[in-house]
Amino acid sequence: MHQRSTGTDFVNTVNAAILGFGRWGRILHEASLSASRLRISHVVTRSPDKVREYCTTHDLVLGDEFEPILKGDGIDAVIIATPHTQHASQLLQCAHAGKHVYCEKPFTLTGNDAVKALDALESSGCTTAIGHNRRFAPNTLALQDMLAAGELGDPVHIEGVFNANMTAAKGQWRDSVDESPAGGMTSLGIHALDMMINLMGNVREVRATSRRVATSLSFDDCTVADLLFANNAGGRLTTLTSTAMQWRIIWYGTRGWAELQDLDTLIVQPVEGERKTTHYPGYAYPGLPTITSALQAFAGKIQGGAAFPVTPAQIAHGTATLEAIIRSAESRQTVAPGA
Domain boundaries, the chain: 2-133, 137-331
Higher pLDDT, 318 or 8: 318
Q: At residue 110, what is the residue type?
A: T
DSSP state of 311: -
In this predicted structure, what is the pLDDT of residue 121? 99
Q: Are 25 and 45 in contact (CB under 8 A)?
A: yes
DSSP state of 84: G
Cα separation, 39 vs 16, in Å, equals 6
Q: Are 67 and 75 in contact (CB under 8 A)?
A: no
Average pLDDT rounded to a whole number, residues 3-11: 41
Q: At residue 48, what is the residue type?
A: P
- The phi, psi pair for 102, rounded to 5°, reads -115, 110
Buried b (16+ CB within 10 A) or exposed e, 228-267: bbeeebebebbbbbbeeeebbbbbbbeebbbbbbbbbbbb
The 3-state DSSP class for residue 41 equals: strand
Asked whether residue 262 carries a pLDDT value surpassing 50, the answer given is yes
Listed residue (192, 145, 132) closest to 164, CA to CA: 192
Q: How many helices (H) and strands (E) does the chain have?
A: 9, 15
Average pLDDT rounded to a whole number, residues 307-312: 98
In this predicted structure, what is the pLDDT of residue 8? 32
Q: What percent of the chain has pLDDT over 70?
A: 97
The 3-state DSSP class for residue 121 equals: helix
Asked whether residue 7 carries a pLDDT value surpassing 60, the answer given is no
Domain at 2-133, CATH class: alpha beta
Q: pLDDT tens-digit profile of 209-250?
A: 999 999 999 999 999 999 999 999 999 999 999 999 999 999
Asked whether residue 289 carries a pLDDT value surpassing 50, the answer given is yes
CB neighbour list of residue 147: distance below 8 Å, 6 or more residues apart: 199, 251, 253
Domain at 137-331, CATH class: alpha beta
- The phi, psi pair for 280, rounded to 5°, reads -120, 95
In the structure, what pLDDT confidence band is assigned to residue 6 with cuts at 50, 70 and 90?
A: very low
In the structure, what pLDDT confidence band is assigned to residue 4 with cuts at 50, 70 and 90?
A: very low
Average pLDDT rounded to a whole number, residues 257-283: 99
Assess whether the previous peptide bond of 48 is cis (omega < 30° from 0). Answer: no
Cα separation, 154 vs 226, in Å, equals 20
Q: At residue 239, what is the residue type?
A: T
Q: From the CB of residue 41, how many other CB atoms can be counted at a distance below 10 Å?
A: 18
In this predicted structure, what is the pLDDT of residue 2? 57
Residue 256, sorted as left (phi over 0), alpha (psi -120 to 50) or beta, turns out to be left
In this predicted structure, what is the pLDDT of residue 12? 84
Average pLDDT rounded to a whole number, residues 103-132: 99
Assess whether the previous peptide bond of 309 is cis (omega < 30° from 0). Answer: no
Q: Is 145 exposed, middle or buried (0-12, 13-18, 19+ CB in 10 A)?
A: exposed
- Mean pLDDT over each residue of the chain, to the nearest integer: 97
In this predicted structure, what is the pLDDT of residue 57? 98
In this predicted structure, what is the pLDDT of residue 162? 99
Q: pLDDT tens-digit profile of 277-287?
A: 999 999 999 99
